[in-house]
Structure 1
Amino acid sequence: MYFNSFEFLVFLPSVFIVYWFIVNRNLNIQNLLVVFASYLFYGWWDWRFLSLIIFSSLLDYSIGLKLKKEEKQSKRKMLLWLSIFVNLGFLGFFKYYNFFIDSFINTFKFFDAEIKFNTLNIILPVGISFYTFQTLSYTIDVYKKKLEPTQNLISFLAFVSFFPQLVAGPIERATNLLPQFYKKRTFNYMSAVDGCRQILWGLFKKIVIADNCAKYANLIFNDYENYSGSVLFMGAFFFAFQIYGDFSGYSDIAIGVSRLFGFNLKRNFAFPYFSRDIAEFWRRWHISLSTWFRDYLYIPLGGSRGGLWMKIRNTLIIFMVSGFWHGANWTFVIWGFLNALYFLPLLLTNRNRINTDIIAQGYYFPKIKEFFQMMITFFITLIAWVFFRSNSVEQAFYFLGHMFSKSLFSIPEIFPIHIVFLVVIFVITEWLGRTGEYAIDRIDFLNRPIRWSLYIILILLMFKFTGEEQAFIYFQF
């Protein structure tokens, strides 16, 4: 069930009405409704995979209780590794089995040796990378005694399967989301208004920006050998805004829907394309994943506390694992490695934390230096996106090689001016709203007639410029 589908248009108000007007007096029944609605939402794709998420939930719920009772450190560690092994085992089998088999076979072919292994026709469960990391955060935090294990099974099932963010994040920590299921929730009109506003903005990002950019990004990437460098650059440009509009749009809708039901999710994007260096970009892009890897992988490895070699090693590990998390293809690994290369000079010169403020705060325009820093950061990010979007490493190198040929400065054969215009308007809107948590929050200071006029304009633009429907990109991860 997609957020931008007719089914969800029926599903959301139906659950909302039952949640607030029928079962609002009983917290446990409210939570049970969340579980039922979440399983219905997830099962809409394939009911068979509900068994997977239920098994993972029950396993980690049981391990959490056992960790509380167990005092011997060796047994506590064994319980933790059981959770890690089972959860990552499921993730590895469904997502990476064929990748490892193919890589193993190709390695032997490189040495002129033949080896036969059968690949499997495996369907990737939607959202498995997201809910796996979410439930792992629970067992790890319980193991570290940062969180008391819950004895409320319904609340835990609701935490793992919470439908607004189940299939594409934000990846919530148990320390933030789980306690919200313990407290009685009362309807807050202003929070609901903010939620609706954010849903509207997220839908605009998805339907108008992402889906329209996707049409031309797909056209160019699918026929990249027959276009000039200027058109290939346009393809990379359109994909950069497709993935941002698509993924941040999903996060906005998820956070907005959660507000309708009295929950607060963590922010997942903070205007990343206004970053002045790649370190700032990664503090602003997919925040829930980057902070997850920081807290549960980078810091346990030693972070940046060790010597030069440890800093380099840990940075390479976290970025390449992040790349591999996105998909079973060497293109994602190289994408992660490339971002590590961008990041390392900043880390090794202690300049990775110099841009922590809001750019041009209090001013309408950035300084000349800041402007060029933004352009350079966006440009190198765009190059990395080529690997992310390409079907193979060979395609990515061919694409970049021809993009930087002499034809880069030719007049592009494809230049959809209306899409470029929409992207420019979108960027200006984001720039004006960059000091708030979300761009659309900035219209609060306007009077009601102007606010409603802007809402109507957004809705009309969605009807006028509805692109060809595209699945959310991060559903495949």
Structure 2
Amino acid sequence: MLFNSLDFAIFLPIVFILYWFVTNNNLKLQNLLVVAASYFFYGWWDWRFLSLIIFSTVVDYSIGLALKSEENKIKRKALLWTSILINIGFLGFFKYYNFFIDNFITAFSFFGLPIKANTLNIILPVGISFYTFQTLSYSIDVYRRKLEPANDFIAFSAFVSFFPQLVAGPIERATNFLPQFYNKRVFDYSKAVDGMRQILWGLFKKIVIADNCAEFANQIFNNSADMNGSTLLLGALFFAFQIYGDFSGYSDIAIGTARLFGFSLMRNFAFPYFSRDIAEFWRRWHISLSTWFRDYLYVPLGGSHGGTLMKIRNIFIIFIVSGFWHGANWTFIVWGALNAIYFLPLLLTNNNRNNLDIVAQGRLLPSLKEFFQILFTFALTVFAWIFFRAENMQHAFSYISEIFSTSIFETPIFPTTTKNLAKIFLIVLFILIEWKGRESQYAIADIVLRWKRPLRYAAYYAIAIAIFWFGGNKQEFIYFQF
């Protein structure tokens, strides 16, 4: 079920009414309803894959209880590795089986040893990368004794399957999210209104910004052989705003929906395209995943401690694994390695923690230095996005080579219709709103909440009209494929 669908527009109010007015604020009934609604939400896509979520829930719940009563270090480690192998095993089979088989065949053929191996017609379960990492964080934190294991199976099931963030995050930590299912929840009107506001802004990001950028980006990337360099550069820019609007829009809708039910999810994006270096970008982009890899992979490997070679090794591991997490394609691995290369100079010169504040805080405009830092970081990010979007490595290299040819100076091939120009105007307006609201939790709040009620409601209606009038062709969220 998509957030930007009529199905969800019917589903959400029904669950909301049942949750607050039928359960009578009974905690166990509320949690049970969350589980039922989440399974229905996920099963709407394909009910058969509910078995994976249920199995993962049972395994990690049982391992958590076993860890509670087990003091033997070897047995505790065996229990942890059982959780890791089962979860990563499922993820590896569904997401990477055919990738490894294809590359295994290619490698042997390269050395003149052709072999036969069959690939499988495997359907990738939606959200498996997200809920797998969420349950793994629970097992690891219980093993580290940072969290008491769950004793309430329904509450734990609700934590694993919570429908707003089930299929594309944010990837919540058990230490932050699980305790919320144990605490009594009472309807808070202000939180609900804030949640609706964030949902509206998320829908604008997705439907108006991302889906319209997707139309342009798809047309250009899918026909890149017929495009000149300036048009391909335009396509890369459109994709940069597509993926940001799409994924941060999903996160906004998920966070806003969670607030309707009395839950707080972690922030997943913090205006990353205003970053002054690549380290700051990764502190602001997909925060739930980057911090997950930091805490559960980078730090255990030694982090930034140790010698230079260890630092380089750890950075490449975390970024390449992050790239591979996104998909079974060499383009994602190269995208991860490229970001590691971007990051290394900052780490090796101890400048990776320089920009911890908000750019141009308290000022309308950035300084000239900040402006060029933002521009340079954005350019590096857009270049890396080409690998992320390309169908394969050959496509990526041909796309990039044409951008850096003399055709970059030709006029872009872009239909300048009245509606297209209006869409470009909305994208520019979106960037300005993001800049204006960069010091807030999400952009629209910093601007609209200061206005008097008539102006506020006029702004809400304007956003709603833009969603219906300028909405692009409805598309699935990009991160559903990961």
TM-score (norm 2): 0.98
CA distance in 1 between counterparts of 2:86 and 2:468 reads: 45
Mapping 1:320-469, distance limit 5 Å: 320-414=320-414, 416-442=420-446, 443-469=448-474
Q: Which amino acid in the other structure matches residue 434 of structure 1?
A: R
Q: How far off is 1:417 after superposition?
A: 2.8
On the 8 A contact 2:63/2:79 being kept in 1, the answer is yes
Q: How far off is 1:267 after superposition?
A: 0.1
CA distance in 2 between counterparts of 1:471 and 1:405 reads: 34
| Larger deviation, residues 169-178 vs 408-417 | 408-417
Counterpart of 1:312 in structure 2 is: 312
Runs of at least 5 residues in structure 1 that lack an aligned partner in the other structure: none
Counterpart of 1:168 in structure 2 is: 168
On the 8 A contact 2:268/2:286 being kept in 1, the answer is yes
Counterpart of 1:473 in structure 2 is: 478
CA distance in 2 between counterparts of 1:193 and 1:207 reads: 21
CA distance in 2 between counterparts of 1:307 and 1:337 reads: 20
Counterpart of 2:265 in structure 1 is: 265
CA distance in 2 between counterparts of 1:25 and 1:297 reads: 39
Counterpart of 2:20 in structure 1 is: 20
Counterpart of 2:230 in structure 1 is: 230
CA distance in 1 between counterparts of 2:409 and 2:381 reads: 20
CA distance in 2 between counterparts of 1:24 and 1:83 reads: 36
Counterpart of 2:153 in structure 1 is: 153
Cα deviation code 1:344-374 (max 9, x no counterpart): 0000000001001000011110000000000
Q: How far off is 1:394 after superposition?
A: 0.7
CA distance in 2 between counterparts of 1:205 and 1:25 reads: 33
Cα deviation code 1:402-429 (max 9, x no counterpart): 0111111211111543332221100000
Cα deviation code 1:420-459 (max 9, x no counterpart): 2221100000000001011012121211111111001101
Equivalent pairs counted in the alignment come to 477
Please state whether the residue corresponding to 1:359 is helix, strand or coil. coil
TM-score (norm 1): 0.99
CA distance in 2 between counterparts of 1:421 and 1:389 reads: 24
Mapping 1:65-144, distance limit 5 Å: 65-144=65-144
On the 8 A contact 2:25/2:186 being kept in 1, the answer is no
Counterpart of 1:178 in structure 2 is: 178
Q: How far off is 1:200 after superposition?
A: 0.1
Please state whether the residue corresponding to 1:355 is helix, strand or coil. coil
Q: How far off is 1:25 after superposition?
A: 3.0
Q: Does 1:210 align with 2:210?
A: yes
Please state whether the residue corresponding to 2:411 is helix, strand or coil. coil
CA distance in 1 between counterparts of 2:435 and 2:281 reads: 15
Q: Which amino acid in the other structure matches residue 480 of structure 2?
A: F
Counterpart of 2:45 in structure 1 is: 45
| Larger deviation, residues 20-29 vs 36-45 | 20-29
Runs of at least 5 residues in structure 2 that lack an aligned partner in the other structure: none
Q: Which amino acid in the other structure matches residue 291 of structure 2?
A: T
Coordinate RMSD, CA, aligned: 0.6
CA distance in 1 between counterparts of 2:296 and 2:206 reads: 31
